[in-house]
Amino acid sequence: MELKNNWEAIRHLLEKAFESCGHYAVASVSEDGTPNAAPIGSLCLQDDYTGFYFEVFSSQTAKNLEHNPRICVVISNGGLFSFWIKSLFLGKFLTPTGVKLYGTVIGKKRLATEEEIQIFRKRIHKFRLFKGYKLLWRDFKYVRDVKFERCEPLNLGVMGHSSWKQR
């Protein structure tokens, strides 16, 4: 699957996945080869096959990146009624179910720009009146930059064979 030909569909899937489950699985590997998967909901994808995420809760991922900057992000549409029930009824997925993005974290964590903060705040804006909004997201100020090199679709058998075709 070609990253460049599918980038806009991947970005759309990222937004749908956030709406349905609020995070993506980010995998990294420690110095001794121990894998780690962390839920990260702040990943934002840019136009140029890069992205950034706010480094807040993922302490093991941060440690792993000191030795190995490679990551894998799994983005999956988890919308039960709007996606899965409809797909199961039809016997096929009309839109992509998920994707694995392979990338490299570039450099150390850095202060987020005001534009990056606003991009993420726009995503979480609908939760602003909830008590947990400030508890979870008030200290989001450091980001990590990621450059993505390749992708592959999630394999969901016969139902998923055509969901990435012609993209």
Amino acid 49 reads Y
Is residue 163 domain-resident?
no
pLDDT in tens, 124-139: 999 889 999 888 888 7
Q: What is the CATH number of the domain that holds 60?
A: 2.30.110.10
| Residue 154 binned pLDDT confidence (cut-offs 50, 70, 90) | confident
Could you tell me the strand order of the sheet in which 70-76 lies? 35-40, 24-29, 70-76, 98-111, 142-153, 50-54, 44-45
pLDDT, mean of residues 44-60: 93
Domain count across the chain:
1
Q: Which domain holds residue 123?
A: 3-153
| Res 163: pLDDT | 67
Gap between the Cα atoms of 96 and 164, Å rounded = 6
> Model pTM?
0.87
Looking at the DSSP bridge assignments, the partners of residue 50 are 147
Percent of the chain clearing pLDDT 70 (strictly above): 94
